[in-house]
């Protein structure tokens, strides 16, 4: 799933493309996406695919497409102080972005 957005050359370009396609609509979600480089969640030899709007899986590591994560982040209407439980969180990419929004009152638990 994914492929709805043009590939970027880096994290900022990917996010610009997600904004242009209206997947990222809020400043809060945009800041979380910009703070975390998607390539950091890839194995070194696969990082050339990090900025494509595609899901990636290698063994038990999994990243959904960026457009999916942005839709989830926008739909959750996250605010500082809320709780968040992510079951089967793959690499932790989504949980990390959510944690940035939840802030110092972090209630993020990975199972």
Q: What is the pLDDT of residue 4?
A: 63
Within 13 Å, how many C-alpha atoms sit on residue 7's CB side? 9
Does residue 49 lie in a domain region? yes
Q: Considering 6, 26, 49, 64, which one is annotated as catalytic?
A: 64
Does residue 6 lie in a domain region? no
What pLDDT digit, counting tens, does each position of 67-105 carry? 999 999 999 999 888 888 888 777 889 999 999 999 866
Does residue 54 lie in a domain region? yes
Residue 95: active-site member: no
Count how many domains the chain has. Answer: 1
Does residue 21 lie in a domain region? yes
Does residue 27 lie in a domain region? yes
- pLDDT-derived band at 11, boundaries 50, 70, 90: very high
Listed in sequence order, the residues at least 6 apart from 80 whose beta carbon sits closer than 8 Å to its beta carbon are 101, 102, 103, 104, 105
C-alpha 87: how far from chain center:
15
Structural domain that includes position 30: 11-110
What pLDDT digit, counting tens, does each position of 12-70 carry? 999 999 999 999 999 999 999 999 999 999 999 999 999 999 999 998 889 999 999 99
Does residue 82 lie in a domain region? yes
Does residue 29 lie in a domain region? yes
Does residue 1 lie in a domain region? no
């Amino acid at each position: 799933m994914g492929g709805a957005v043009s590939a970027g050359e880096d994290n900022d370009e990917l996010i610009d493309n997600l904004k242009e396609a209206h997947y990222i609509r809020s400043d809060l979600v945009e800041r979380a996406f910009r703070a975390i480089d998607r390539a950091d969640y890839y194995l070194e030899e696969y990082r050339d695919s990090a900025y494509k709007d595609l899901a990636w899986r290698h063994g038990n590591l999994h990243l959904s497409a960026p457009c999916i994560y942005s839709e989830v982040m926008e739909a959750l209407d996250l605010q500082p102080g809320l709780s968040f439980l992510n079951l089967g969180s793959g690499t932790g990419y989504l949980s990390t972005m959510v944690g940035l929004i939840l802030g110092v009152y972090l209630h993020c638990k990975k199972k």
